[in-house]
Amino acid sequence: MLHRRHLLAGAFAMPAIARAAETPGVTADELKIGNTMPYSGPASAYGVIGRCEQAFFRMINDQGGIAGRKINFVTYDDGYSPPKTVEQVRRLVEQDRVAFLFNTLGTASNTAILRYVNQRRVPHLFLATGADKWGDHEQHPWTIGYQPSYRVEAQIYTRHMLAQKPGAKLALLYQNDDFGKDYLAGMRDVLGPRFDAVAQQSFEITDPTVDSQVVALQASGAEVLLTAATPKFAAQAIRKVFDVGWRPLNYLTNVSISIGSVMQPAGAEKGVGIITSAYVKVANDQAWASDAGMLGWRDFMRRYMPEADLEDSGYITGYGVSTTLMQVLHQCEGDFSRENVMRQATALHGFTNPTLLPGITVNTSPTNYRPIRQMQLQRWTGSNWQRFGEVMQSTEA
């Protein structure tokens, strides 16, 4: 595992306990961390991220814990329902008294708890959503994102589609919430007044399918399509676009590109040519066959999740963000007060976790709440994602 010695061996030392008595979630032998995940509901494909994190912290505990403490990772199912997220987070903070929240998933879900956790001054770390707003350190200083901004991702796709098909009619299929609307905003940033000509169809997370929206976009005459959807609907869209005989230049949000939970269910051959972006490695890419970071991930999966589908990129996502959290906890040097946890989460400089693509690093500061600003384009071949072009650096988010 890349940086494993630095991250883990050093972290298991036992510095003096700092203010544990008055710090929620911290005792002499335990650090309690809270999380919500959609283990059920319309976005349940993402539940593998939470299961991976549970296994990761079991590994950490087996290796001695952090600063003499075992990690108690308390994770609840919120069904991708914001009201349920509020209920579960209140339970985590007020009853379980966790030290902080980590990698809570979903744009709408995190929006629902944003004011609450900031009023309570609870660190809300490395959210599992790329909504652009998580970078606003002034409005919500206790909340920090992790993955690249959806809005910047959409800007990158739009520039690429204009270069590939100048003058073509563009189409956007998006989830009707803050997640989907960030892609709308990113396209508008690049297109300006030309955005009014983009064919648009939205859908609700409660809709059974997006078939009618795909048919409507095809009928618009669009030659280019961008889809901003969670895995279930992304797979539906890929399948329907192919089945109706539409062959647009096709772009897909990078949060729905798991081979196991999206591309294979859609029909691997039906997505050939789809373009997306990446910031993490893909398990079946032969470029990483002897990569130290991915060898560490495979060893972890073999030991702690032997029945898991290695084609599901959610396991790579969960492992990478958990390793990043361990770096933060290592930097805390045993002081897990909420103030210090937040201080260290915003003091990551050029950190590389085992799953990041070469050239991509994690950087934060008290005024930079967007840890990952780099991406590389990739294209679906029918069996894997093939990267192309240079790693691109965002300066706009």
Comparing C-alpha atoms, which of 109, 154, 122, 390 is closest to residue 276?
Answer: 154
> Taken in order 96, 127, 182, 216, is the CA torsion positive or negative?
negative
Q: How far apart are CA 159 and CA 87, in angstroms?
A: 41
Residue bearing tokens 């029909």? 267
Comparing C-alpha atoms, which of 332, 334, 335 is closest to residue 348?
Answer: 332
pLDDT by residue for the chain (397 residues), tens only, comes to 444 444 443 443 334 334 444 689 999 999 999 999 999 999 999 999 999 999 999 999 999 999 999 999 999 999 999 999 999 999 999 999 999 999 999 999 999 999 999 999 999 999 999 999 999 999 999 999 999 999 999 999 999 999 999 999 999 999 999 999 999 999 999 999 999 999 999 999 999 999 999 999 999 999 999 999 999 999 999 999 999 999 999 999 999 999 999 999 999 999 999 999 999 999 888 899 999 999 999 999 999 999 999 999 999 999 999 999 999 999 999 999 999 999 999 999 999 999 999 999 999 999 999 999 999 999 999 999 999 999 987 655 4
Structure tokens at 318: 């969960």
Q: How far apart are CA 224 and CA 201, in angstroms?
A: 14
Domains of the chain (ranges, CATH numbers): 4-148+288-373 (3.40.50.2300), 150-284+377-393 (3.40.50.2300)
H/E stretch holding 55: helix 47-62
SS3 72: strand
β-bridge mates for residue 30, sequence order: 70
Phi, psi of 171 (to 5 degrees): -135, 150
CA 128 to chain centre: 4
Comparing C-alpha atoms, which of 205, 244, 199 is closest to residue 226?
Answer: 199
Output the pTM of the full model.
Answer: 0.88
Structure tokens at 235: 């797979």
DSSP strand pairing (70-77 vs 30-37): parallel
How many CA atoms, within 13 angstroms, populate the side-chain half-sphere of residue 61?
Answer: 15
